[in-house]
Structure 1
Amino acid sequence: MTSPRWTRWVAVLSGLCLAVVTAGMAEAAPTDFYRAPASMPGKAGDVVKAEPYPPALSIPNQEGPWPSGAQRIMYRSTDAHGSGVAATATYFDASLPWTGAGARPLVVLAPGTQGQGDQCAPSKLFTQIVHYNYPLDLAVGYEILQAYALLSRGMDVVVIDYQGLGTDGMHSYVDRRAQAHAVLDAARAVKALPGKRIGDDSPIGLWGYSQGGGAAAAAAEMQGTYAPELNVRATMAGGPPADLRSVAAALDGGGLAVGLLGYAINSIYAGYPETRAEIDGVLTPAGRQAFDDIANQCVPETIARYGLRSTSDWTRDGRSIADLIDDLPAVRAAVDEQRIGRSTPNGPVLIVQGRNDDLIPYAQAQQLATDWCDRGATVQLWTAELPPIAPGFVVGHGLPMVSGLTVGLDWMVDRFNGVPAPSTCAG
């Protein structure tokens, strides 16, 4: 007898195959939706505008189309320095029933690295699946895998675009506070939607992998002070970049993903003006041009143009960006500001991390778990014990997202069902 869970996964995989075939026929998201008003009245989490749309991938089932639909929303968030800013997201209401305990939960999904160009915003990719402009402007909506897996368990899902991805301004890549605010304010916005079915006391989960793992982790430890009214029950933080110094050293080793450091440098340059003279002072004209180009790219183009290189190609003295951090006081302070693990999550956290992750080092994720355990949090560190596979080609980073998906889903559902959270904290 075929299990319902297996049947749902077959439907997901079949739908993904169908999406690849039909992606070229999907319409792009309207660009005018992403234009924010000149001022941002109201408070954090207020909905600025919303509109329904049919996602490019919709799978028929006995309950009707799955998911039942989507809403593109713009909401007010708060940047790293306390100013109001627009952010966008996509809200999916699950057509499958929630069979767990209590009210239907909402999961805020923080995406992994998409890029820094506005065309990379996940809410745009949900209408296309595949975005392409000649010659190398390519983006693939891979977060559909995690979003639809969560929907398959009957949980509503809101997938954020972060700040500056799709909307005006530089995307605040790996900026701890900006990303945490975008996550928490998205939950507030869904609760404020007209005709909402997510109530004020509905359980909320935070979920993300890679960049999204860092955003979810930062939101978990900031929720108590920034959004204490939210009923956050659990956080799944996969492959979290908790220590940017460690991550920068790993990226700058000449692998495919070295260009992703450009996203981080651009984010710091835009968000922390005191760093600009230092950054400009160490870059060659070619380096400055590379970072300007990267600011408008999605991940596939950045990899194609800048993979298998070193940032030492872009500096005046031939040292890498990772090596220069400690010699640039303002940059050092901005990088140190992004460290996750200095506050305590209110609820339990699952950290999913590959032992041989070639993008986000295992040791710094392990240190995050230790830091939170020392603060009294309930933390489970689940390690994907995969062998090194093509180091530097991001395989070791991508596979744990897939292998840990069912682990994360089961863990999240257990938390919503009131099952006590397991812990790997010593003592």
Structure 2
Amino acid sequence: MSVHLPRPVALLVATVVAGAGLTLAAAPAASASAPAPAVSHAAALAQPDQDPFYSVPAHLGATRDGAVLRSRRLPADALAVPSPAAVWQLLYKTRDNAGKPTATVATLLVPTARWTGPGARPLVSYQVPEDGLSTVCAPSYVQRAGAEVAAVSAAQVQFDRQRVADAVSHGWAVVVPDYEGPGSQFLGANAAGYGVLDGIRAARSFAPAHVDRKAPLGLWGYSGGGFATTAAAKKQAAYAPELRISGIAAGGVISDLNRSLQAVSGGALSSYLPFAIASVRNAYPQANVDQYVNASGKSYADAVSHTCLGTAVVTGPHNVSLASLEAQPGSLTAGPFHDFLHSASPVGYAGVPTAPVYMYHGTADELIPVDGARELVAQYRAAGVQVRFVEDAGQNHQGEQQNGIAGAVAFLDERFAAGAHR
């Protein structure tokens, strides 16, 4: 069945899906000490919920955060955009948004070409804008399945696949974490931060990959990936102090959830509203979000509570305001819910990056207002963080995603070189 969107929505769907949040890369169990045999690319690709490799082992409480629990080597053509690299998937121990032990998957790529730069080959954690409420949105799956996943934007999938391939061609080792975990906790800052940092721990400790313990470490992500990158950057000092991050590149960061909801309220992209409500409800069950939402809002949220953002954009509703979804006047736009969203936003929770930061944002971003990024940058600078902030005049969310690549890569190269010569 074809879906006919209102014309303003049709023109903007590519923008919201290609930037505000979708994805990248997937399946019999093996231990880290006895890796599973290579997975045939020709074999049918099981979704994560039907793939035993993704199963979370019991009794993880005493297991070290970042420990590799299972691994499997993928053939060179396993990824939809093959890279000249050795490729593994790692199931590793991490924590969910409530801090409880769980496990998630990362895709690790190590270039086959010899590293010719200064010092050890850098390791970059690339955060895809996973933005999903289903494990079919997970990067480890979509990086391989892609077009098979109807709920995920083909444009965004292709963009992220190409970025990973480009990073490998640049000579970097790349780890792509499923940082939302098996509960798909989109907008859960703790889950995102833990998932990223433990993914780096897993990549560094996985002996077959030969990642140098002295390798410079970098973080990079845009939009939802920028949210996860920022969460990891702010939580690293307390959660993973042994990781010496060299540089952090984050673009289009969802710095203030309240500002983002207001930005799309009443417009063609108001379909983001119920998806955000469903996401916060999933990541923060203790917040009892439903008490602030009326029957229509709950129905809209329920309809998208097990999908990826691409489907939510199409599903609607379009041209509705946040206020029209409130249980009582002001219940979503002010008061406890508004305060809670602030506390769950990068501008509202504690933590300071321990490495220089490169942030980039389009001044015409229709989804994630630049004012939130400005506030976050001001906080960083007040705390003594070295920040390079680039505002690109007239760039919208999708445009800045592409526009910001060169600056992010140059910044990370600069930071890796500086670390190598210390």
With the shorter chain as reference, the TM-score category is 0.7 to 0.9
Shift of 1:292: 2.0
- Kindly tell me: are residues 312 and 220 of structure 1, through their superposed partners in 2, closer, same or farther at Cα, counting changes over 3 Å? closer
The separation in 2 between residues aligned to 1:103 and 1:138, in whole angstroms, is 36
The answer to whether the 8 Å contact 2:107/2:176 transfers is: yes
The count of corresponding residues between Structure 1 and Structure 2 is 369
The separation in 2 between residues aligned to 1:52 and 1:252, in whole angstroms, is 45
Q: What 5-or-longer segments of structure 2 have no aligned partner? A: 1-40
The answer to whether the 8 Å contact 1:45/1:185 transfers is: yes
Deviations 1:389-418 (A, max 9, x none): xxxxxxx20111111101111110111001
The separation in 2 between residues aligned to 1:297 and 1:314, in whole angstroms, is 23
The answer to whether the 8 Å contact 2:219/2:247 transfers is: yes
SS of residue in 2 equivalent to 1:325: coil
Corresponding residue for residue 343 of structure 2 = 337
SS of residue in 2 equivalent to 1:406: helix
- Kindly tell me: are residues 81 and 152 of structure 1, through their superposed partners in 2, closer, same or farther at Cα, counting changes over 3 Å? same
Corresponding residue for residue 325 of structure 1 = 332
Deviations 1:24-56 (A, max 9, x none): 988424522222123324021111211122323
Q: Does 1:46 align with 2:106?
A: no
Q: Could you tell me which of 32, 36, 52 is aligned with 2:56?
A: 36
The separation in 1 between residues aligned to 2:411 and 2:188, in whole angstroms, is 27
Q: Could you tell me which of 270, 273, 290 is aligned with 1:279?
A: 290
Aligned pairs for 1:60-75 (under 5 A) are 66-75=83-92
The answer to whether the 8 Å contact 2:264/2:273 transfers is: yes
Which amino acid in structure 2 is aligned with residue 92 of structure 1?
L
Q: Could you tell me which of 376, 382, 386 is aligned with 2:384?
A: 376
Q: Does 1:85 align with 2:107?
A: no
Which amino acid in structure 2 is aligned with residue 57 of structure 1?
A
SS of residue in 2 equivalent to 1:255: coil
Structure with the larger RCO, 1 or 2 (CA within 8 Å, 6+ apart) = 2
Q: Does 1:355 align with 2:366?
A: no
The answer to whether the 8 Å contact 1:209/1:240 transfers is: yes
Which amino acid in structure 2 is aligned with residue 324 of structure 1?
S
Which amino acid in structure 2 is aligned with residue 338 of structure 1?
A
Q: Does 1:183 align with 2:183?
A: no
Deviations 1:217-263 (A, max 9, x none): 1211221111011121000011111111111111224233x333334
Q: What 5-or-longer segments of structure 1 have no aligned partner? A: 1-23, 60-65, 388-395, 421-427
TM-score scaled by length of structure 1: 0.79
Corresponding residue for residue 7 of structure 2 = none
Corresponding residue for residue 18 of structure 1 = none
Aligned pairs for 1:22-421 (under 5 A) are 27-29=44-46, 31-41=51-61, 42-54=63-75, 55-59=78-82, 66-132=83-149, 137-140=151-154, 141-142=157-158, 143-164=160-181, 167=182, 169=183, 171-256=184-269, 258-276=270-288, 279-280=290-291, 282-284=293-295, 286-306=296-316, 308-310=318-320, 312=322, 315=325, 324-325=331-332, 327-329=334-336, 331-341=337-347, 342-386=350-394, 396-418=396-418
- Kindly tell me: are residues 67 and 340 of structure 1, through their superposed partners in 2, closer, same or farther at Cα, counting changes over 3 Å? same
Which amino acid in structure 2 is aligned with residue 51 of structure 1?
R
The separation in 2 between residues aligned to 1:211 and 1:205, in whole angstroms, is 17
Which amino acid in structure 2 is aligned with residue 399 of structure 1?
G
- Kindly tell me: are residues 296 and 314 of structure 1, through their superposed partners in 2, closer, same or farther at Cα, counting changes over 3 Å? farther
